[in-house]
Amino acid sequence: MQSGEYKIVQLANGTYSVHSFAERETFHPVIGPVAEAQALYVRQLKLRERLPRHSGEFVIWDVGLGAAANVLTVLRETNDIPATVRIVSFDHKIAPLEFAVNHAENLGYFAGYETPVRTLIESSRVVFTNGEQTVNWGFHLGDFPTLLTDSLSHSPTCSYPAPHAILFDAFSPAKNPAMWTLPLFTNLFQILDPTKPCAMPTYSRATMLRVTLLLAGFFVGIGHATGEKEETTIAANTLELLDEPLGAKWLERVRKSKSAEPMHQPAYEQKFITAESWERLINHPQFR
């Protein structure tokens, strides 16, 4: 179960996932692809509550398509809810998905979705019926920070619908710092539609990340445990989507943290928060 850059690995709990030799990373390495997607995205985004109340197209950005475990788990967990769902997936390569679907039987979570996934790989777009849903799934190949910058410049070839939910699953800041900078999250926040409530969970609970998200414009709260982490992080463009917003006690920790200043460039560094960033942080609407 190995081919080129990837291999199938069995996790400690018996489930299977994909390992990348190039990145030296295993996708969803502790509790497995499905369990992590259920805890981090399906439940935290409250998709089963939000979808029935939503009218029109519900847009989900999938930042870090990888082997598609996040998207396919979201679709499987909500397929009994009538809805029109648009998935906008981003990644700098399609190879992990190509490898994974060729080992669909081992991974398990592809069951019933093999045909639309293969169409997505071949055509970068697929429309299909998912239980009670109509799904329009598109894939955009490229460097996400660049795609985002191009979209904000209103290039006619880089126009993406504003999301209602974001599955943010990039490799760690130490491995992939370009995906965790203040300019990237600022651009991401700017592309949101203020009239469309949007939430974005991610697996990290790092102080640096939370400060970055707040300075980018998001409201930020404590995210649910995933089985491997006691806490994650959830950001949103409205406070109403957060169950447990960060508060004064967290601000006290920021002042003492040796790793609180956002990365302004795609180079991983740990620093105390600067006076300028602190001033901006305490004047964020979340703390006023």
pLDDT tens for each residue of 11-26: 988 999 999 998 888 8
Instruction: Note whether residue 262 is domain-resident.
Output: no
Mean pLDDT for 106-130 is 97
Which domain range does residue 61 map to? 29-245
The DSSP letter of residue 126 is E
Instruction: Note whether residue 268 is domain-resident.
Output: no
Tokens of 115: 């045909």
Assign 30 a pLDDT band (cuts: 50, 70, 90). Answer: confident
Closest CA to 68 of 44, 102, 24, 23: 102
**How far, in Å, are 111, 146, 151, 228, 266 from residue 142 at the CA level?**
27, 8, 13, 30, 17
CATH number at residue 96: 3.40.50.150
Instruction: Note whether residue 4 is domain-resident.
Output: no
Count up the domains in the chain and report the number.
1
Instruction: Note whether residue 194 is domain-resident.
Output: yes
3-state secondary structure of 68: coil
Instruction: Note whether residue 56 is domain-resident.
Output: yes
- DSSP per residue, 6-54: EEEEE-TTS-EEEEETTTTEESSTTT-HHHHHIIIIIITTTHHHHHHH-
Instruction: Note whether residue 283 is domain-resident.
Output: no
Instruction: Note whether residue 269 is domain-resident.
Output: no
Instruction: Note whether residue 265 is domain-resident.
Output: no
Q: What tens digit of pLDDT does each residue of 75-115 get?
A: 999 999 999 999 999 999 999 999 999 999 999 999 999 99
